[in-house]
Copies of this chain bind each other. A is one copy, B any other.
């Protein structure tokens, strides 16, 4: 457990006060089968369950009966045959005591507790499930079909969880720093290995081995590709090619579920071409612009739009865009180059709390999500708060399928110079991403050691690397 039981008890007390009444169910994750029931992926506890209980064991459910002031940790103990296979483990009663929960009970008790509360007409609060085994369990408990569970999840519970998890304490930031330190080793190793002839898969696999060797995992499947223009470009067996760029978007997740998430775009032969410098310098300026303007009270929506305007200005200087900057951005023309959001909240999930609903995590009555292409991928818009961790990840991409589609339909033809754009179809894409903490007066980059990203620093690193 990362914290003491008083911390977990205090978190649950605050949750109870916010939700006010009813029965709260917090499902821990079970093992996830890969290719048959007993062959499972690396265990990954649900972040909200871990936040409120600190326990990593599979097969647990937390029950908080607000109305009757009772708390239960539900789970089945193991028997001697299990001990032969998995070793001796703490009893569920022991786990409950560690987490400051008064009662423990076997799984069979869960149905009784839920049935009783339903009979009494009390509200059953649950978070939107994303694991299908939990959907089946929830269906059996409540009669709600999996396809309706997301809409029937408790908004009170969702908002109460977001309220707490969004703001990170100094101790949580320390754990994120641990993830960033592993991420630093992953990214600098990728840059050291980057050269013509080495395969994307080899580098991506090697850096995921760095996280594994520390007993951790990557915070998401590593994106590593010469085709940076494919947002989720998974590593291929292709060898890296001289003159192209390698985009690597990767992060680590500690065993306490805290994440890092960085992207670097590295010239495969160690030196940027002049055309690559033109585009890279824009992304670099956008990345650093965020550091200047992000602070508590500022809408992340406005930070995103400010970056979009800066990018449009600079693309106009290169002749790739044209027309009025404000109008181009309002119409979404910049999304040809920057079709995703500037960044997302990060914490115990790399897209923090995304499973609870981006609508609730990143938006509010003041700032609503957009439906415009590109801006619809912005995962957060509302006013920044001290203690939030955000990613700062602008990028510029040249996506042949999108160029062809917009050109053929004449989309945003007043703002985009399609003739020049045609000549960039072999370019790929550039993204620079770091994790920033919103402080009292502004923000700061996380990670005690900086992964090189300024062009000169990147070229110097590549020239001086030893292996």
Please, could you name 16 A-B residue pairs with CB atoms under 8 Å apart, sorted by A? A35-B46, A35-B130, A37-B355, A39-B349, A84-B401, A86-B232, A87-B227, A132-B132, A132-B133, A132-B136, A136-B146, A201-B214, A202-B214, A203-B213, A208-B212, A209-B213
Most buried by B among A130, A133, A215: A215
What are the interface flags for A68-95 relative to B under an 8 Å C-beta threshold, 1 for contact and 0 otherwise? 0000000000001101111110000000
Counting chain A residues whose Cβ lies within 8 A of the other chain, the interface size class is: 35 or more
Specify the chain B residue showing the minimal Cβ separation from A335: B84
Specify the chain B residue showing the minimal Cβ separation from A87: B230
Given the interface contacts A36-B355, A205-B214, A212-B208, does A80 sit within 8 Å of B41 by beta carbon? no
Q: Is A399 on the interface with B (CB-CB < 8 A)? A: yes
| Distance, CA A147 to CA B131, complexed state (A) | 17
Q: Is A40 on the interface with B (CB-CB < 8 A)? A: yes
Chain B residues with CB under 8 A of A34: 32, 41, 44
In whole Å, how far is A149's beta carbon from the nearest beta carbon of chain B?
A: 11
Chain B residues with CB under 8 A of A447: none
Q: Is A424 on the interface with B (CB-CB < 8 A)? A: no
Most buried by B among A135, A136, A350, A401: A136
A212 with B209: CB separation less than 8 A: yes
What are the interface flags for A177-209 relative to B under an 8 Å C-beta threshold, 1 for contact and 0 otherwise? 000000000000000000000010111111011
| Distance, CA A354 to CA B38, complexed state (A) | 9
| Distance, CA A324 to CA B84, complexed state (A) | 26
Chain B residues with CB under 8 A of A29: 35
What are the interface flags for A208-242 relative to B under an 8 Å C-beta threshold, 1 for contact and 0 otherwise? 11111111000011000001001111010100000
| Distance, CA A32 to CA B39, complexed state (A) | 13
Q: A residues within 8 Å of B by Cβ?
A: 29, 32-42, 44, 46-47, 80-81, 83-88, 130-133, 135-136, 146, 199, 201-206, 208-215, 220-221, 227, 230-233, 235, 237, 257, 339, 349-351, 353-355, 373, 399, 401-402, 405
Chain B residues with CB under 8 A of A41: 32, 34, 41-42
B401 with A83: CB separation less than 8 A: yes
A33 with B215: CB separation less than 8 A: no
A130 with B355: CB separation less than 8 A: no
Chain B residues with CB under 8 A of A215: 199, 201, 205, 235, 237
A34-B41, A35-B349, A85-B232 given; name 11 further pairs at CB < 8 Å: A29-B35, A33-B130, A35-B44, A37-B355, A84-B401, A136-B146, A201-B214, A204-B212, A205-B212, A205-B213, A209-B209
